[in-house]
Amino acid sequence: MRLLVARCTVDYQGRLTAHLPEAVRLIMVKADGSVLVHADGGSYKPLNWMSPPCWVEERPSESEREGEGVTTWVVHNKAQERLTITVHEVIHDSQHDLGTDPGLVKDGVEAHLQKLLAEHVESFGPGWTLVRREFPTAIGPVDLLCRDADGSTVAVEIKRRGEIDGVEQLSRYLELLNRDPLLAPVSGVFAAQEIKPQAKTLAHDRGIRCLVVDYEELKGTSDSSLRLF
Amino acid sequence: MRLLVARCTVDYQGRLTAHLPEAVRLIMVKADGSVLVHADGGSYKPLNWMSPPCWVEERPSESEREGEGVTTWVVHNKAQERLTITVHEVIHDSQHDLGTDPGLVKDGVEAHLQKLLAEHVESFGPGWTLVRREFPTAIGPVDLLCRDADGSTVAVEIKRRGEIDGVEQLSRYLELLNRDPLLAPVSGVFAAQEIKPQAKTLAHDRGIRCLVVDYEELKGTSDSSLRLF
DNA sequence: CCGTAAATGTCGTCG
DNA sequence: CGACGACGTTTACGG
């Protein structure tokens, strides 16, 4: 990894056109050839970058700048995207061998929520039973397929954050499931830790019930953790 | 900005739990206190990070490691998220004053495309007029609401890249708008710089016209920049 | 400050 | 290789 702190201007041309006026920035060149241009603020996203696979070409100084130590880098990839970095003044330049990274170990909340709800379907209402998790359909698996106290089929879609896309997804499942005479009529429940107003409106419009789940309380125990709307 | 190349282990606990085994990585501490941990590959996303506003607390060496030069940083924010970096060996450590960045100038994003098309609705067809941009509905604003030469209402959805989601979005708007007797019947146009085959098929199936826009040509001017399908 | 949609999104998985 | 969904999404914009 090469770390270069330099006064520079940057231009990107590809999916859009972008320009950075002259200023001091960090230019990071990774072992795989990718390039990141960072400012001293903002969050983790660079001001400009080029993702691998890509190639750096160091051009000779532009004629009018000769003798001033100006260098231009052109980073390009297969898709004709082009990142042009003009270095006006080098403040720091160092190279480091980091080796390959062993990689990140994650433990998400997402799958856990489905597992918890599957283990507590009675929380949806008294007399509810689980038919199965990940119930297969032609367009993908339904998170939970249940039966309510009347024996009616209910498809449950679970998200951490409930947005319109999730309601669309559940709607597609419901349309398909309701074509099966052995299951129909199938109603829907949209369950999430948080449900956006627009998603709630759309769900309501389509006769889908919304359920806000309190993850911590559900993990703790019981039925008081759910609020039906 | 502080640049630290070090052999370290990292733990994050917050929205999820993650762990990085001991390895050499770049630790970047920005002027606003944010911290990024980068490997020598991957893309611009760090392995782990903490976004501002956040605070770094440098803890004394753990007792069992005393004398080995081990230091632990705990970065935390208001939301109780916590990034713990244990530094086992420092390979490089430098500090740089970058100053505030003048910021990025962009051109060619969806907003520009919408503005251009709003200024050239006649490009959709002769006699077309603009009713308004960002026409409000209960489920969100329609990009452009127009009337064609016959005075019929047309809803236009604009994307940089046209995918299925965009067609779904337009379909929802059309369903809602067609409930309004003052507007109905409302037809749809899906406009983008590039439209994926699946999106085109779905749009066609729903009676939505597709329009491929050449941004550069449209910016130039003229009507020859549009091709109707 | 909240809510929503865009993003040079990136990143996995699965067909 | 491309499509699809999730993301510690982040980021910009409008009420």
Q: CA B4, CA A1: separation in Å to the nearest integer? A: 12
CA distances from B55 to A39, A223, B31, B33, B105 (A): 19, 38, 11, 6, 30
Chain A contact for B200 (CB, 8 A cutoff) = no
Q: How confident is the model at residue A146 (pLDDT cuts 50, 70, 90)?
A: very high
Interface subset of B 120-179, CB within 8 angstroms of A: 138-140, 160, 165, 168, 172
Chain A contact for B197 (CB, 8 A cutoff) = no
**Residue the block writes with tokens 């929802």:** B172
| Grouped pLDDT means (10 residues each) for chain B, 229 residues | 96 88 95 95 93 89 64 92 94 96 89 90 91 87 94 94 86 89 93 85 88 83 49
Best to test chain A binding among B98, B164, B215 (most A CBs inside 10 Å): B98
pLDDT of res. A227: 45
pLDDT in tens, A194-224: 888 888 888 888 899 998 887 667 766 544 4
CA–C1' B162–D13 (A)? 21
Q: CA A162, CA A204: separation in Å to the nearest integer? A: 13
How far away is chain A from the Cα of B143, in angstroms, using its nearest Cα? 17
pLDDT of res. A109: 65
Query: What are the structure tokens assigned to B9, written together?
Result: 């282990």
- Taking the alpha carbons of A94, A97, A98, A100 in that order, is the dihedral positive or negative? positive
pLDDT of res. A228: 47
Query: What are the structure tokens assigned to B48, written together?
Result: 């782990």
CA–C1' B171–C15 (A)? 27
Q: CA A131, CA A142: separation in Å to the nearest integer? A: 11
The letter for the amino acid at A148 is D
CB of A1 closer than 8 Å to CB of A95: yes
- The burial of A61, by beta-carbon neighbours within 10 Å (0-12 exposed, 13-18 middle, 19 or more buried), is given as middle
Q: How confident is the model at residue A64 (pLDDT cuts 50, 70, 90)?
A: low
- With contacts defined as CB-CB under 8 Å, which chain B residues touch A48? 104
Q: CA A24, CA B97: separation in Å to the nearest integer? A: 8
Task: Report the candidate in A189, A172, A183 with the shortest Cα–Cα distance to residue A138.
Answer: A172
pLDDT(A44) > 70: yes
Q: CA B22, CA A110: separation in Å to the nearest integer? A: 27
The pLDDT of A162-189, averaged and rounded, is: 89
Write down the pTM of the prediction: 0.80
Please name each of the domains of chain A with its CATH number: 2-95 (2.70.180.20), 110-228 (3.40.1350.10)
Task: Report the candidate in B201, B213, B206 with the shortest Cα–Cα distance to residue B158.
Answer: B213
pLDDT in tens, A6-24: 999 999 999 999 999 999 9
How far away is chain B from the Cα of A81, in angstroms, using its nearest Cα? 14
SS3 per-residue string spanning chain B: CEEEEEEEEEEEECCCEEEEEEEEEEEEECCCCCEEEECCCCCCCCCEEECCCEEEEEECCCHHHCCCCCEEEEEEECCCCEEEEEEEEEEEEEECCCCCCCCCEEECCHHHHHHHHHHCHHHCCCCCEEEEEEECCCCCCEEEEEECCCCCEEEEEEEEEECHHHHHHHHHHHHHHCCCCCCCCEEEEEEEEEECHHHHHHHHHCCCEEEEECHHHHHHCCCCCEEEC
Best to test chain B binding among A4, A37, A43, A160 (most B CBs inside 10 Å): A43
pLDDT of res. A151: 95
> Given an 8 Å threshold on Cβ–Cβ distance, is B99 in contact with A23?
yes
- With contacts defined as CB-CB under 8 Å, which chain B residues touch A44? 34, 36, 44-46, 49, 51
pLDDT of res. A45: 95
Query: What are the structure tokens assigned to B176, written together?
Result: 């809602």
